[in-house]
Amino acid sequence: ETGVTQSPTHLIKTRGQQVTLRCSSQSGHNTVSWYQQALGQGPQFIFQYYREEENGRGNFPPRFSGLQFPNYSSELNVNALELDDSALYLCASSRRLGESYEQYFGPGTRLTVT
C-alpha cells in the first residue's frame, strides 16, 4: 500500500508569486485535506476535498485554492504569496470507513517566501 506523497519537498518563492503544491493520496482513500504548519505551531486546516468537491474550509483567504482529480490526487494553489505564507504544507488523505477515518499525512512541502 502506497502512502501519501507530496511534491516538491522544498520550495523558495518571492513575495507576490504563485505556487502549486501537489499531493497523491494513499491507495483507496477518497478524501484529501490540506494543512499549514507554521514554526512551533500545530497544523492549521486549510480545506478538504471529497470526491473532487470542496468539503469544508478553514480560516484562509480565497488566494488559497485547491483541486482534487478523479484519481483523488490533489493540488494546493496559493496566489500573491506573502511572507507569512512561509510554512510546512501538509496533505492528509483518509477513507470514510465505519466509525473511523483517521487522516494519514504526507511528509509535507516546506515553502519559504522571501
Partner 1 sequence: DQQVKQNSPSLSVQEGRISILNCDYTNSMFDYFLWYKKYPAEGPTFLISISSIKDKNEDGRFTVFLNKSAKHLSLHIVPSQPGDSAVYFCAASARSFGNEKLTFGTGTRLTIIP
Nearer to partner 1, 18 or 41 (CB): 41
Nearer to partner 1, 67 or 107 (CB): 107
For residues 9-42, b (16+ Cβ closer than 10 Å) or e, as one string?
eeeebeeeeebebbbbbbeebebbbbbbeeeeee
Helix (H) or strand (E) holding 65: strand 64-68
DSSP letter for each residue of 48-63: EEETTEEEEE-S--TT
Q: Which of 51, 56, 61, 82 binds partner 1 (CB under 8 A)?
A: 56
Place of cell 484529501: 32
- Give me the residues paired with residue 91 across strands: 34
CB of 57 to partner 1, least distance (A): 9
Q: Which of 19, 43, 64, 111 binds partner 1 (CB under 8 A)?
A: 43
CB of 44 to partner 1, least distance (A): 7
Window 6 to 25, contacts with partner 1 (CB under 8 A): 6
The verdict on 105 binding partner 1 (CB under 8 A) reads: yes
In the complex, which residues of this chain contact partner 1 (CB under 8 A)? 4, 6, 31, 33, 35, 40-45, 48, 55-56, 58, 90, 92, 94, 99-108
